[in-house]
Amino acid sequence: MKTIGIVAEYNPFHKGHAHQVRMVRETTGAEHVVAIMSGNYVQRGEPAMFNKWIRTEMALAAGVDLVLELPVAIATSSAEGFAAGAVRGLAATGVVDGLCFGSEGGELGPLDDLAALFLEEPPAYREALGRHLQEGLAFPKARAEAAREVLQAQREALEPLLHSPNNILGIEYLKALRKYRLPLEAVTIRRKGAGYHAEDPGLPFPSATAIRKHLREHGMDHSLEPMLPDTSYRLMLAHMDAWKGARVHPDMFFPFLQYRILQMDPGTMAGIQGIREGLEHRIKEKAREATSWEGLLGALQTKRYPATALSRALLHILLDLKEDRLREQMEGGGCRYLRILGFRKEAGGLLHRMKRNASLPLVSNVADSMGALKGPARSQLLEETASTEVYNLALATRLGIRGRNDFTQSLVVL
C-alpha cells in the first residue's frame, strides 16, 4: 500500500491540481493521496479567497483522500519554513510513504543538486551569498547568483530552477527531506499549463493567480467554468451565491492591520515574524498615510524587500505571529498536532492506520482537543483558532457574513 503526500494551498483547487492528483496515482500506483493544506491564510502573505473548509471540499471532491491543516505560523512562513513544516507534518502521520510536488521541468535530479548545495552551504557559496546580500539583493536573488557562481552554471540553465515558485518550493522540500532524514520518497510531476504567476485566464490550465484575478475583477461568471474542475466550479458557484458575490481580499483586513501597526511600539513589532533590519520603523511611518493593504505594500517595497515577504510580515503583524514562537515550533518539529479538516469515507482505513501510527496527536474536534492538548501543542492550536476569528471578523464587518468557526465547524466528509 502506498500513500503519497502533497503540500498545497488550493486557493482555489483548479485543473492543474486535479491533474497532479491523477498523475500521482498513475505514476506511483498510490492507493491514497493526503494533502497538507494552508488554512485561512496562504504563504504569499494573504487571506485565502475561500475558507479552509470550502477548499477542503474542493480537494476531496476531486480525489484527495484526506486533508490536514498546516498551522498558520508555518503556512505563512518563508518558503524554507513552509516546506520544512509541511513535509515533517506529512512524515508524522505515520502513513505517508512519499512526497509529490509539481515542478516546471519534471526532473528531480537538478532540484536535488541545488537542495544539497543550499543545505551544505560550502564556504565558497556562503562567501558569494554574503557578498550579494551586502550589494542589496533580496535573499532569493542573492542565493540564485551565489549558486550560479559556485556551480559555474550558465544563467540560462539556472533561471528556470531558481525563479519559479514551484521549483523553489521543490528545492525546499528536498532540503527538508535531507536535513531531517525523513523516510519519504520524493516524486515530481511536470507542471501543466500556465505558470504560477501567469494572469491570463485564457491559457490552458490557468493558474490560481489568474483565477483569483478574474474573480476580483469579474466575479463568479460562466467564463470560469472551463478553467476549473466541475466539482470546484459548482462549489464556488454555490459559495458565491450564498455570499451574494462577495469576495475575500486583503484590503478587507486593512483597518485591523493599520490599527495594530499604529498601536504597537517598534520594539514589540521588531519581534514579529519577518520584521528585521529596522523595517518596523518604516512600516509605522508608511502606515499612517496608507489607505489600503496594497497601497501600504507599494510604499514599503524596495529591491531588498519583495512584495511577498512584506505581505507576510504585514500578515504576521495582524495575527500577532512572533518570530520566537515560530522558532520554538520549528525546533519542536513544526506541527505539534495533526488537524484533520476532512476525508473521503472510503479512506476510513487510512484514518484508522494514522490513529495507530501517527507520532503527533490527532485533532478532529477542536473543542475537545483544546482541553486535551498541553504546552506548545495547545498554544499552536490557540494561535490557529485566533487567526480564524480574525478572518471571520473581516467577513462580518466588511461583508456582513458570518464565517465558519473552528469550534463549531464539523469535519468535511465526502
Cβ count within 10 A of residue 411: 13
Strands 66-70 and 46-47, by their bridges, are: unpaired
13 annotated to bind ligand:
yes
Contact in structure between 52 and 229 (CB atoms under 8 Å): no
18 belongs to an annotated ligand binding site = yes
Query: Is residue 346 annotated as involved in ligand binding?
Result: no
Determine whether the annotation assigns residue 316 to a binding site.
no
The answer to the question of whether 10 is labelled as a binding residue is: yes
Tell me the DSSP string of 217-259: HH-S-GGGGGGS-HHHHHHHHHHHHHTTT----GGGGHHHHHH
Asked whether residue 51 is marked as a ligand-binding residue, the answer is no
Report how far residue 154's alpha carbon sits from residue 284's, in angstroms, rounded to the nearest whole number: 42
For residue 8, say whether it is annotated as part of any ligand binding site.
yes
Is 365 annotated as ligand-binding?
Answer: no
166 is an annotated ligand-binding site residue? yes
User: Letter for the amino acid at 280?
Assistant: E
DSSP characters over 345-375: GGGHHHHHHHHHH-SS-EES-HHHHHHH--H
15 is in an annotated binding site: yes
Looking only at the bridges linking them, the beta strands covering 66-70 and 338-343 are antiparallel
Pairing relationship of beta strands 338-343 and 362-363 according to DSSP bridges: parallel
On whether 405 is known to bind a ligand per the annotation, the reply is: no
Cell of 81: 519554513
Residue set of the binding site for ATP: 7-20, 102, 166, 191
Binding site residue list? 7-20, 102, 166, 191
